[in-house]
């Protein structure tokens, strides 16, 4: 039995993208229609849709939106394809860290390059690919959940950081997919959710979707995790990922690295849950992962109100990199990869 979440953060309907506006949850639960490529670029950048797999789906849909806009503008299919390939590259720059976005835009570029159809045929092929990426993502997450549930101890308290749930994917979740699958087998497990400053994905989104599914969740602030680990109250950590290097170093939401260090110190197993599309085998180590720098207002303001003095310095990296030595396993749709990650990652791509 799969304990499903009914949340579908992004779908394709009637030639447009329909997405849940994640900037206003939990105050409002509202879908918005995205009808142009530029609007999709902005929706990804402004985090109306967020989470690595979900922005991959969004990027693929964004290429379809551009394809529709380009109808009738070009005299021949080669000019149209050249323009569309440029738009796919542009779409992939809307956020720099999550590799799923580049991966999905590249999938669409392959469709464009390999297509022998006319404009309308190509639009249909790109639409089919975007829908396939969305559906595949849910299936991948369910598999991740099933593999991950095997390492969740009976009655465990699981700590997570940020939101790697239904809202961040096609609709089941990676880290929260593990929680959902484990909960379906053992309803005595519970979750501790880090608040996740500055955008509060843990407080606003993780607690929202777990509460919706009736899974017990306790909200803590980011600095509290080592306190609860020292009390023996956390049995394992599961988080998502935005990009995993060939050696297993993993970029995820800022603050994840701190949790991983605390987990190592307290002998709490620290797991990453992510589809293979999050692994970037073209880069050797986490040092090569580009880290997004976001607006200073995310740090200086809460709900539009300034919380600090004027005239101070601000730095706001959106992600950090957890070294592979701190990671007990990477839970993928092909099973749990263990150290040596060089070998286990390479093997996962072969099979
Ligand atoms: O900035 P966000 O909210 O897009 O960051 C999201 C995360 O860091 C998630 O943990 C990651 O993308 C995995 S989502 C399954």
Tell me the CATH number for domain 143-350.
Answer: 3.40.50.10470
Ligand 1 near 51 CB (within 6 A): yes
Strands 301-302 and 250-253: unpaired
Ligand 1 near 252 CB (within 6 A): yes
Distance separating alpha carbons of residues 245 and 268, to the nearest angstrom: 23
Q: How many CA atoms lie within 13 A of 281 on its CB side?
A: 12
Tell me, in angstroms, the distance from the centre of ligand 1 to residue 137's CA. Answer: 15
Quick: pLDDT tens for 221-257: 999 999 999 999 999 999 999 999 999 999 999 999 9
Ligand 1 near 206 CB (within 6 A): no
- Asked if residues 137 and 275 have their Cβ atoms less than 8 Å apart, the reply is yes
Let me know if 242 is a catalytic residue.
Answer: yes
Ligand 1: atom nearest CA of 274 is 15
Ligand 1 near 331 CB (within 6 A): no
Ligand 1 near 174 CB (within 6 A): yes
Quick: pLDDT tens for 118-143: 999 999 999 999 999 999 999 999 99
Ligand 1: atom nearest CA of 175 is 15
What's the chain's average pLDDT?
A: 97
Pick the CATH number of 10-141 from 1.10.10.10, 3.40.50.10490, 1.20.120.420, 3.40.50.10310: 1.20.120.420
Q: Which of 194, 235, 242, 280 is catalytic?
A: 242
Q: In CATH terms, are 10-141 and 143-350 the same topology?
A: no
Q: Which long-range contacts (CB under 8 A, 24 or more apart) does 95-98 make?
A: 95/44, 95/45, 95/55, 95/292, 96/290, 96/291, 96/292, 97/242, 97/243, 97/251, 97/289, 97/290, 97/291, 97/292, 97/318, 97/319, 98/52, 98/55, 98/56, 98/242, 98/243, 98/278
Tell me, in angstroms, the distance from the centre of ligand 1 to residue 117's CA. Answer: 36
Quick: pLDDT tens for 153-212: 999 999 999 999 999 999 999 999 999 999 999 999 999 999 999 999 999 999 999 999
Structure tokens at 10: 């992004």
Map out the domains of the chain as residue ranges.
Answer: 10-141, 143-350
Mean pLDDT over 61-90 rounds to 96
């Amino acid at each position: 039995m799969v304990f499903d979440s009914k949340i579908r953060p992004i779908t394709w309907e009637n030639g447009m993208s329909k997405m849940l506006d994640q900037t206003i949850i939990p105050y409002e639960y509202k879908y918005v229609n995205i009808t142009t490529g530029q609007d999709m670029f902005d929706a990804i950048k402004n985090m109306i849709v967020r989470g690595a797999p979900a922005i991959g789906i969004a990027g693929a849909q964004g290429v379809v939106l551009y394809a529709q806009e380009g109808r009738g503008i070009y005299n021949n299919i080669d000019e149209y394809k050249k323009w569309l390939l440029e738009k796919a590259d542009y779409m992939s720059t809307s956020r720099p860290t999550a590799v799923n976005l580049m991966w999905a835009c590249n999938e669409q570029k392959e469709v464009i390059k390999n297509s022998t159809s006319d404009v309308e045929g190509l639009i249909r092929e790109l639409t089919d690919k975007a829908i396939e990426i969305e559906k595949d993502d849910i299936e991948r997450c369910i598999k991740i959940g099933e593999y991950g549930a095997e390492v969740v101890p009976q009655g465990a308290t699981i700590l997570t950081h940020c939101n790697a749930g239904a809202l961040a994917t096609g609709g089941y979740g990676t880290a929260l997919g593990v929680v959902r699958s484990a909960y379906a087998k053992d309803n005595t497990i519970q979750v501790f959710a880090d608040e996740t400053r500055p955008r509060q994905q843990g407080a606003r989104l993780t607690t929202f979707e777990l509460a919706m599914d009736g899974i017990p969740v306790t909200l803590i602030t980011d600095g509290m995790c080592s306190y609860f680990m020292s009390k023996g109250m956390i049995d394992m950590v599961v988080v998502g990922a935005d990009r995993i290097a060939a050696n297993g170093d993993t970029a995820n939401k800022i603050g994840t690295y701190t949790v991983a260090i605390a987990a190592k110190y307290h002998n709490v197993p620290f797991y990453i849950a992510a589809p293979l599309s999050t692994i970037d085998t073209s880069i050797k180590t986490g040092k090569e992962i580009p880290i997004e720098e976001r607006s200073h207002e995310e740090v200086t303001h809460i709900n539009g109100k300034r919380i600090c003095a004027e005239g101070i310095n601000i730095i706001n990296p959106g992600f950090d990199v957890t070294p592979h030595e701190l990671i007990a396993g990477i839970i993928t749709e092909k099973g749990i990869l263990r150290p040596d990650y060089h070998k286990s990652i390479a093997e996962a791509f072969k099979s």
